[in-house]
Structure 1
Amino acid sequence: MVTAITKGATTSKTSPITVEEYLAQEEISKEKNEFIEGEIIKMAGASANHNRLAVNFSRLLPLEINNQSYEIFVSDMKLLAPDGENYFYPDVMVIKGEPRFTNEKQTAVTNPCLIAEILSNSTEGFDKNQKFAFYRTIPELKEYILIDQEDYRVELYRKVGKNQWLLTELMSQEDVLTLESIEVEISLADLYKRVKFTNK
């Protein structure tokens, strides 16, 4: 039996399993699990704010600009890292043009130009560090967005050169998130609509 690790929790390592074993288990699992370096990482349940932000963000994204089409995937689509051995469930992914699926069932993609993650206390460090390290290896990825669910705070990482990423922090309701990869601007006021801050 494979033991799952809950993302953000402190736990001992389990014996690594193969990609094939993970995919077989994930196909019948009632819950989503990421797969990182041979370990199954159980996805924690999302809060109401998490869902509001993911929906708001995806709704504000374009499906087409200047005759260029985009595919938008929210939460349930797996992402396969370029090493072919690690799978993730980003909160939002945008793909410019045609998605490259890993199989005929179209359950995982490999070529997002933009990824957004909604932060929580238990996942913030993981999303900023280990996960971003894998995401940076995706050749097509141009922008990575981290969205706080407890305050007006967005971190935008934009690729500006080989192994170079520029950080822009937005921390006000009046700020505007400019996404060059898909040529769109999103105000934080619109992004955070209906979000209720519990620490205010």
Structure 2
Amino acid sequence: MITQAKVKKQIISLENYRKLEDISEFKHEYHDGVIIALTGGTINHNRIIRNLIYWLMNLCNNQTYEVFSSDLRVWIPEHKRGFYPYVMVITGDAIFNENRQDEIVNPCLIYEVLSPSTSSYDRGDKFLYYRSISYLKEYILVDQVNYFIEHYTKTENNQWLLQEYQDINDMIKLNSIDIDLKISDIYENISITK
């Protein structure tokens, strides 16, 4: 989660950011010279991430896909940005940025879990940066407060189509990894209060 209070105003080189990140106890995103500290999440937030990783790993078993959590950074060279998506999937082998073992450039599917403080950013600028990843085929935003999922799919014409899900009994067809995922599985053990 990103909060304005966490933004450090000083400009830092990419090399120094990487050195700091290697020894830091906490993760920071890199935004073209500005580092932003990431904060923790709610219990629903963490359960959704756990559920996604569990179901994706089970459904992708024995295939050429690999599921990663937010400990691996995605590097976006065009925008000089480094992000930690909550959940991402790659097809085939990981392609590392500059042979670094902590930065990949080839996610085909990214999940972000929305928080009140980050939802506008996740839908706006962050999605703009993610769209520049040529390998990315799907971007999915999961609301932790309501049963609501936004599923963006890249077409052959490089257009992004939006499908929204609000019914717990729906299924999401993940074309990039050729599986179907139940909405109820994503929200398993999640308390939604209306």
Instruction: State the TM-score, normalizing by the size of structure 1.
Output: 0.89
- Are residue 100 (structure 1) and residue 131 (structure 2) matched? no
Report if the CA contact (8 A) 1:8-1:122 is conserved.
yes
Within 5 A, what are the aligned runs for 1:1-200? 7-9=2-4, 14-61=9-56, 62-64=59-61, 68-83=63-78, 85-102=80-97, 106-197=101-192, 199-200=193-194
* Structure 1 unpaired stretches of 5+: 1-5
What is the alpha-carbon root mean square deviation over aligned residues? Answer: 1.9
- 1 CA distance for matches of 2:182 and 2:38? 29
Query: What code does the residue aligned with 1:119 have?
Result: L
The percent of aligned pairs where both chains have the same amino acid is 40
How far residue 104 of structure 1 moved from its aligned partner, in angstroms, is 5.3
SS in structure 1 at match of 2:132: coil
Deviates most, 50-59 or 154-163: 154-163
Question: In structure 1, the residue corresponding to 2:97 is in which secondary structure?
Answer: coil
- Deviation (angstroms), 1:63: 3.0
Higher relative helix content: 2
Number of aligned positions between the proteins: 192
TM-score, scaled relative to structure 2:
0.92
